[in-house]
Amino acid sequence: MNAPLALFRLDATPSLGVGHLARCHVLAEALKGEGWRTRFAVSAETASSVGAPRDAIIVPPESMDEPRALGDAEPKGCDLLVVDHYGRDAAFERACRPWARHILVLDDLADRAHDADALLDPTPGRNPADYANLVRTDTRLLLGPSHALLDARFAAARPMALARRRAGGAAARVLISPGGTDPADVASLALDALVGLEPALVADVALLPSAPHLARTRARVGPRVTLHCPAEDMAALMVEADVAIGAAGGSAWERCCLGLPMLLVITAENQRLNARRLEDAGAALVVGEASHVTVESFRREIVELVSDASRRRRMAEAAALLCDGEGVRRVLSIIKEGV
């Protein structure tokens, strides 16, 4: 077994969402394509609620020595430890140094210290000063949406999607993708807002089977509402959509890559900065926080956007400038250099 090993430490649950798992899966698949072995380390809750690979390491409770347990699970250590977890910081990463040859941290909060060889933060407008006192002076910073870890299908679909945006035309299809588990039930709110619109819009709703409010969405399926659970090809759905309604998490970079105008609902505290900067860049409109958005306010924003083709075209252009979908290629290149 001479292939290098990458170990991913993350968690994903219905309450946390699945963004950490999604972006780590993309990087893991890319590494496997380069001949690497990969292994995930997750909590028991993650394994039971959203699933984990059969060989995943189930980490001990918080009170136990997690770095030691991970090292024991891989006695020869790993060539790359990828940490994508809001509950882990420099103390954890430093404790993993004896068996992790290199450490890559995925973060988008810039609110705690890290002991990393490289740190990836896809937040728009992020700059080195944000991490000046949080990382080592030799930590390599990979900042901005150009480093977002997207499935290769998004970059492949980009030319077709952008050509479709430039062609313009009336809006007919909306993609509702409020995060895989949609704990705030934004899908139901959006579907309520679409009722009675003229002309009527066709809606695609993308959710995971673990979404707690899935039954409510499933009950709305009909001639103009299709539920994708799970979505087999999100890139294809985004190409066909004229407008997206969703959260400001990792899927925002997928929409940007394909130039898809978006209405954003903030469903978690860590989405606030993304949402504001996407709106400042002209790529999105922020409807508000999920707990405060009403059906009427949502409907008003939808009507204004779908009825203004020139505005959608400008938003598409602004979004496409933020992310080209080539982040995985860039990160792989840096990993090959030895992080």
Domain match, 253 and 140 both:
no
List pLDDT tens digits, range 290-322: 889 999 999 999 999 999 999 999 999 999 999
Three-class SS state of 246: strand
Mean pLDDT calculated for residue range 205-230: 94
Domain match, 47 and 136 both:
yes
Domain match, 43 and 137 both:
yes
**Domain hosting residue 69, numbered range:** 5-150+325-336
Query: Residue 330 pLDDT > 90, yes or no?
Result: yes
List pLDDT tens digits, range 190-205: 999 999 998 899 999 9
Sign of the C-alpha dihedral computed for residues 292, 294, 297 and 298 taken in this order = positive
Mean pLDDT calculated for residue range 222-233: 95
Three-class SS state of 176: strand
**Pairing between strand 118-121 and 262-266?**
unpaired
List pLDDT tens digits, range 107-138: 999 999 999 999 999 999 999 999 999 999 99
Domain match, 141 and 159 both:
no
Domain match, 262 and 133 both:
no
Domain match, 131 and 169 both:
no
pTM: 0.94
**CB atoms inside a 10 Å sphere around CB 268:** 18
Query: Are 260 and 283 spatial neighbours (Cβ–Cβ below 8 Å)?
Result: no
Q: Nearest 5°: CA angle at 205, between 315 and 253?
A: 40
CA–CA separation, 251 and 230 (whole Å)? 14
Domain match, 279 and 157 both:
yes
CA-to-CA separations, 45 to 12, 50, 164, 191, 302, in angstroms, rounded: 8, 8, 42, 30, 37
CATH code, domain with 269: 3.40.50.2000
CA–CA separation, 171 and 262 (whole Å)? 13
Query: Residue 8 pLDDT > 90, yes or no?
Result: yes
Please tell me the predicted confidence (pLDDT) of residue 47: 87
Mean pLDDT calculated for residue range 271-293: 94
Query: Residue 46 pLDDT > 70, yes or no?
Result: yes
CATH code, domain with 92: 3.40.50.11190
> Closest by alpha carbon to 263, among 223, 229, 306?
306
Kindly state the percentage of the chain with pLDDT values over 70.
99
Three-class SS state of 284: strand
* 331 Cβ neighbours under 8 A, 6+ residues apart: 27, 30, 120, 142, 147, 149
Q: Nearest 5°: CA angle at 25, between 20 and 26?
A: 105
Domain match, 163 and 64 both:
no
With both helix axes pointing from N to C terminus, report the angle between 295-306 and 309-322 in degrees, rounded to the nearest 10: 90
pLDDT band, residue 64 (cuts 50/70/90): confident
For the chain, what is the domain count? 2
Of 47-61, 65-79, 303-317, the range with the lowest mean pLDDT is 47-61
Query: Residue 1 pLDDT > 70, yes or no?
Result: no
* 258 Cβ neighbours under 8 A, 6+ residues apart: 154, 157, 158, 161, 162, 235, 238, 239, 320
